[in-house]
Structure 1
């Protein structure tokens, strides 16, 4: 089931197919994917459908863990379930907005920094070409190249200013450009955070619709949250490549541990308050 879902969410690019073949030990498929025909037709950039999957997965992970931890603390303190709805929703949207803003500023700052460094490198290439050429030479000399091979490579790189500048960005500064949009990234983070983070609140919000649900709100929330945690953790395979069931179990463990700590703190505080009021 998860493999079918993943194939819909993540377009199978040549590198993705090669990665699958490597994990399976499928040498024949791996060789076919590295044929001149396959390499020549491969687009060397992220697809529009897949570039924001990372933000969606991690936003959802944070959303569900944050909300369920808050609810667990309230349950541990034996407070009115209505408080869980109020605190949960307030926490959900406040943290969601905070995460989205943080994601936007982080992405934008990184892009601004890369743009500035690229402009600086271009200026240096235009005004101090010999010094910049020497830097390229030194970079590849340290990688083990020498003699005619080194000279030919340096000449090839410095014959094109765009390649020259990109080489300096990558090799000297360790910077890599991407075409993600900071605003889109922030929106994806916010929506995934809110949607996944709402899951633990379902049992509380709709408790009035079912007597069984009303009598077992926290238990129902635990079950819904556990399923969502496993699902979101499994989706991390899209980003990390880890096996879906391992990602699901790991996420379930981390989320469960956070909730257990929050529940315990709430329970302890409730006991302390109870003792001090006697």
Structure 2
């Protein structure tokens, strides 16, 4: 399945593209592990048997992606601003061996900056473990309403992204890096409605109506014309209501930090269907 690309605004004028995948292998494993049951009717005169199996839908809507990114907003900011700090790299990330993991709760308790991201409430953090996959790639398990695997594809690129964010927030700082040279500018389009012009007064409408030319109506073969009472008169209020609104589009540039974080969906909450 093609990934769902979501633009998350992590700072004023700065967005981070997040690629969201559905882990098909994990979904297939959940189906195999689940027990298949048979349903039979209560009445003995009916011999219909139905095979009951779990239903899996492999798709994510735009609303699902928005809810997902809204839930992991604090964790995403923690990864961008704190995980690539030099102190964390030296004491945690660099010492972690490949295929080994560490409990994220231990990292939060060790560094006060992690606690401040969640208002000193470590239990509100959905990150469970931190695992090193390769030399520069890490994976974090997230468990809350959603169950996710958050991948940092390259810790070096994450470091440059952190320096870029700090440089934009603190222009006078010594950090001068502006992220990956392959990052590009994108445009965000916003729409604003133009206010409608003031309504024409009744005197001006009467003058305009008086100046309209008269239309001669030809009679039919039998000499009967169109009755005047059947003619539909369009009032100025109706014309005013039928006018379409006008919009003005504005484009503002945004800095694209580039692809660095991927999300694999392992489990999702149930959809709430609106009842009519």
TM range (shorter): under 0.3
Tell which structure's C-alpha radius of gyration is larger.
2
Which structure has greater helix proportion? Answer: 1
Higher relative contact order (CA 8 A, sep 6+): 1
Which structure has greater strand proportion? Answer: 2
TM-score using structure 2 length: 0.23
TM-score using structure 1 length: 0.23
